[in-house]
Structure 1
Amino acid sequence: MSIISRRPSGWYERDAGGSAEDLEPTPAELAAIEAEWPLIEAELALLDAEIAALSAAGGPSPLDWRRVGRAEAHVTRVAARLAADAAARKGAA
């Protein structure tokens, strides 16, 4: 049996027979998660807004839709900023 994980570089398989240390994220993987954390946080805020809109009594209000729209715009801004930062690092390398 193997465990399939997602790395920033793509998919890979890791043998489940290894030690617990082998299953821990590497420092590079932790750094990648830390770098992407603003986007993860923005996506969680969008999910919260969508859940609030969908579970609102009587249906979503205009305020709920504005909240979803602001959250979507925030996700887009953060994703664009991360992409620009990644392109700048790649260009500097």
Structure 2
Amino acid sequence: MKDIVTVQDAVTAFADFIEPTAAELDAIEQEMPLILAEVDLLDAHIITLDRTPTELDTRRIRRARNRVLNERRTLANCIASVTLPEIGA
């Protein structure tokens, strides 16, 4: 008869490597405004799934879409300013 052994020791042996690094947490923190804007856009779309969108729904979706675009632009500009050297300085 063979004993059944759990694999918990093998799984938890690498638990320290599963945690996000400080750089990954910083990247998530930097992207959080965009993530929240995308959640708001998704919520606005979900509201209109089971009904005909009203004028208020249309405005809500348009505002949420504009917020997502603004956050994407802001994030792209932040990344570009960090990665690209300043020209003509």
TM interval, short-chain normalised: 0.7 to 0.9
**Which structure carries more relative contact order (alpha carbon 8 Å, separation 6+)?**
2
Distance in 2, Cα, partners of 1:86 & 1:39:
13
Structure with bigger helix share is 2
Distance in 1, Cα, partners of 2:13 & 2:24:
18
Structure 1 position 20, deviation (Å) = 0.8
Structure with bigger strand share is 1
Question: Does the 8 Å CA contact 1:39/1:78 hold for their aligned counterparts?
Answer: yes
Unmatched 5+ residue regions in structure 2? 1-10
Q: Could you say which residue in structure 1 is the equivalent of 2:4?
A: none
Unmatched 5+ residue regions in structure 1? 1-15
Question: Does the 8 Å CA contact 1:53/1:65 hold for their aligned counterparts?
Answer: no
**Residue correspondences, number:** 76
- Give the fraction of aligned pairs with identical amino acids, expressed as a percent: 43
TM-score by length of 1: 0.74
Structure 1 position 55, deviation (Å) = 3.2
Which protein is bigger by CA-based radius of gyration? 2
Find out whether 1:84 has 2:77 as its counterpart.
yes
CA-based RMSD of the aligned residues comes to 1.8
Distance in 1, Cα, partners of 2:35 & 2:50:
22
Deviations, residues 26-70 of structure 1 (Å, cap 9, x unaligned) = 1110000000000000000101111112234xx211110110011
TM superposition outliers: structure 1 runs of 4+ over 4 Å: none
